[in-house]
Amino acid sequence: MSGKWVSFLVGMLIGGFYSAFVLIGNHERETRISTHLEGQTFVDHQITTCRNYNTKGFWWLMMMGGMQYQTEHHLFPQIPFYRLPESEGIITEHLEAKGRKICYGPVL
């Protein structure tokens, strides 16, 4: 096997693990839903099926590509990842006015 293939496979393994590490935790709640989701509004469904990581700061934003703001991303996927931190406050304020809140949890 040539060095190029080994480099490719190692890169895919590292990239796959990194993607799984970042994304699976944001969606773990989908398997824990005990009630049926039919009849829920789009916003309620997004809040129920995802969570944010409780990590803040520039380093985390770069390492996770903004995926620690998963709920904001699900509600407004067109917002660039570097604008998600400022959108968090706006979205949280509007959700609280409607009696809803974003779920937060640890990375691990």
Residue 31 contacts by C-beta under 8 Å, 6 or more apart in sequence?
Answer: none
Read off the tokens for 75.
């509600």
Is 79 within 8 Å of 54 (Cβ atoms)?
no
What are the residue ranges spanned by the domains of the chain? 3-105
Q: What is the pLDDT of residues 5-60, one digit of tens each?
A: 888 888 888 888 877 777 777 765 555 665 666 777 888 888 888 888 888 888 88
Determine the residue type at 88.
Answer: E
pTM score, whole prediction: 0.71
Read off the tokens for 45.
């469904």
